[in-house]
Amino acid sequence: MIANLYKDHVNHLSQLYSRGMEALQQAGIDADGVLLHSGRERHYYSDDRGISFQAYGHFLHWLSVNCPDQFLLIRPNEAPCYFQIVPADFWYEQDSQLDPLWHDNFQLERLANADELEKRLPAGRFVYCGEAEAFATDLGMDSELINPPALLNLLDFNRAYKTEYELAQLREANRLGLLGHDAARECFLAGGSEYDIHMSYLGACKLLEDETPYTNIVALDEKSAILHYQNKRRVTATSSQVLLIDAGYRVRGYGSDITRTTARDSAHSVFLSLLEGMETIEQELVAEVQPDKSYVDIHLSALNKIAQLLLDLGICKGSLEELETHRIPQLFMPHGVGHLLGIYVHDSGGHLQDEQGTLLAPPEHSPMLRNTRCMNENMVFTIEPGCYFIPLLLEPERNTERGKFINWELVDVLMPLGGIRVEDNVRVLADGAENLTRAPLL
C-alpha cells in the first residue's frame, strides 16, 4: 500500500517539476532539468562541532534523507537520479539506509564526495536549487540557473497540497506524537518537572531530541505565557497547576505539530473554565474549515470567539464590538491561529497567493499570522488558538484606554498560571475538514 502511494507521490512531483520547467521557459530560462541539493554541513564559529543538520525542504519532498551533500537530478521523461554521497569516514556513521520505497522510483549513483558530482552529471543545462550557491557556480551554472524564482514560487506554492502518501505520513506522525503527549500529561499530574515531562515525551515516542521536528516546548505555570519557551526546569513541580506542551513527531520527513494544555483540578476555577472554553473554540474553528474560504477568516473567527469568552468569564468587560475595535483579543492571543504544515513545521508558501509569487501580507492588526492563503482541498495546516496572560503585553495597558476593558483584579490572579494553547493538524476536504490529530470532522 505505502509503496503504491509513494510511487504516485513521485509521479505527482515529476509532473509538478515538468510544469516548473515550463514556467522557466516562460521566464526565458532554458534548462534540461533540476538539480536539488540537500545542503551543506555547517560548524559553530571557531569550532569543529557540526550544527545539527536540516535538509532542504524541496529535496526532502522527494527523499527522506536528512544528510548533507545529497543530490537529486530531475529531468523530463526520465526517472530521477539520486546521487548518494557516502564519504569514507571513520569518525562518523555515513552510510544511510536505502528506503525500499526508492528502488522502483529512482536511479541510484553512489559517490565518495560532492566533488565527484561534476564528472558524473550528464551533459545538459541544469537549474540548481539549494543553499550552496557558490558550489553551483563552481559547477559552471549561470546565475539565472541558481534558485530561479519562477521555479521556486511554483514549488513553494504547491507544497501546501498533500498527496495521499504525505497524508499517510502526517497521520502516523500525529498518532505517534499523541503517545508522547499522553505520557507527558501523566508525568505532569505525578509532579514531574519540565525536564521530567520532556524526557517522558521522548521516552514514550522513542526519540532522540534532534529527531523531533522542532524543539519541544514544555512549560509549567507562568512559563506557558512565553510562546516559544525553550528551557526545561529541573526543579520539583508538585505544586504546579498548568502544563502547556507543544511537541511533534516526524515520519519520513513529515512532522506533526500538536499542543495540549492540562490544568490540575485545584487550579483557579476561572482558568479551568477558560481552558474548557478554548478547547471548544479550537474544535469550532476546525469545523469552520472548508474549501474556497480564506484562512484569514479562521483567524478573525478565533479573535471573535476569544473576545466573547473573555467577556463571558469576566476577564474583560465592555461589549464584544468594543473589545474587537480596541484589539483586546490580540493582547491575549498575539500569534496567528496557525500555519501551513508538512516537511517544515512552519511550511513554505504561507503568504503566496499563486504560482507566480504574488504575496498577501497578514492583516495589519495581526502581523504574526503565517498563513493568508485561500483554503483548498488537501491543504494541511494547524489550528491553534491560544489565550495567555503575558506581562510584557498586558502591563503597559494597565492605565491606558485599552486597559479599561480588562478586569485587572482577576488578571492578576490568573497571571501566575501562564496561558493556554490547543493545537490540531487539519486537512481540507472537498466538503469540510479531516482532523489528522483527532477523529475526522466531515
Cell of 437: 490529530
pLDDT in tens, 406-432: 999 999 999 999 999 999 999 999 999
Reported as half-sphere exposure (CB side, CA atoms, 13 A), residue 7 has a value of: 8
Q: What is the pLDDT of residue 71?
A: 97
Q: Are residues 148 and 191 in the same domain?
A: no
Is residue 155's pLDDT more than 60? yes
Q: Give residues with Cβ within 8 angstroms of 255, minimum separation 6.
A: 173, 212, 213, 214, 248, 249, 341, 342, 343, 344, 345
Q: Are residues 214 and 329 in the same domain?
A: yes
Number of domains, the chain? 2
For residue 440, what pLDDT band results from cuts at 50, 70 and 90?
low
For residue 296, the 8-state DSSP code is H
Q: Are residues 226 and 316 in the same domain?
A: yes
Q: Are residues 245 and 126 in the same domain?
A: no
Burial class (CB in 10 A: 0-12, 13-18, 19+), 143: exposed
pLDDT in tens, 301-330: 999 999 999 999 999 999 999 999 999 999
Q: What is the pLDDT of residue 441?
A: 44
pLDDT above 90 covers a percentage of the chain that reads: 93
pLDDT in tens, 33-45: 999 999 999 999 9
For residue 165, what pLDDT band results from cuts at 50, 70 and 90?
very high
Q: Are residues 152 and 195 in the same domain?
A: no
Q: Are residues 170 and 154 in the same domain?
A: no
Q: Domain range spanning residue 56?
A: 2-158
- Which of 138, 158, 178 represents a domain boundary (last residue)? 158
Is residue 243's pLDDT more than 50? yes
Q: Are residues 359 and 227 in the same domain?
A: yes
Q: What is the pLDDT of residue 40?
A: 96
- Which of 132, 158, 184 represents a domain boundary (last residue)? 158
pTM of this prediction exceeds 0.75: yes
Is the separation of the CB atoms in 363 and 296 below 8 Å?
Answer: yes
For residue 269, what pLDDT band results from cuts at 50, 70 and 90?
very high
Is the separation of the CB atoms in 316 and 407 below 8 Å?
Answer: yes
| CATH code where residue 359 lies | 3.90.230.10
**Alpha-carbon distance 274 to 306, whole Å?**
10
Residue 441 forms part of a structural domain: no
**Alpha-carbon distance 418 to 390, whole Å?**
7
| CATH code where residue 40 lies | 3.40.350.10
Residue 440 forms part of a structural domain: no
Is residue 290's pLDDT more than 80? yes
Q: Are residues 38 and 126 in the same domain?
A: yes
pLDDT in tens, 336-353: 999 999 999 999 999 999
Q: What is the pLDDT of residue 442?
A: 40
Q: Are residues 91 and 115 in the same domain?
A: yes
Q: Are residues 197 and 346 in the same domain?
A: yes
Residue 442 forms part of a structural domain: no
Q: Are residues 206 and 350 in the same domain?
A: yes
pLDDT in tens, 57-97: 999 999 999 999 999 999 999 999 999 998 887 777 777 76
Of 114-118, 212-216, 274-278, 381-385, the least confident: 114-118
Q: Are residues 151 and 190 in the same domain?
A: no
For residue 439, what pLDDT band results from cuts at 50, 70 and 90?
low
**Alpha-carbon distance 258 to 306, whole Å?**
20
Residue 356 forms part of a structural domain: yes
Q: What is the pLDDT of residue 386?
A: 98
Q: Tell me the average pLDDT across 197-216.
A: 97
Residue 266 forms part of a structural domain: yes
- Which of 108, 137, 158 represents a domain boundary (last residue)? 158
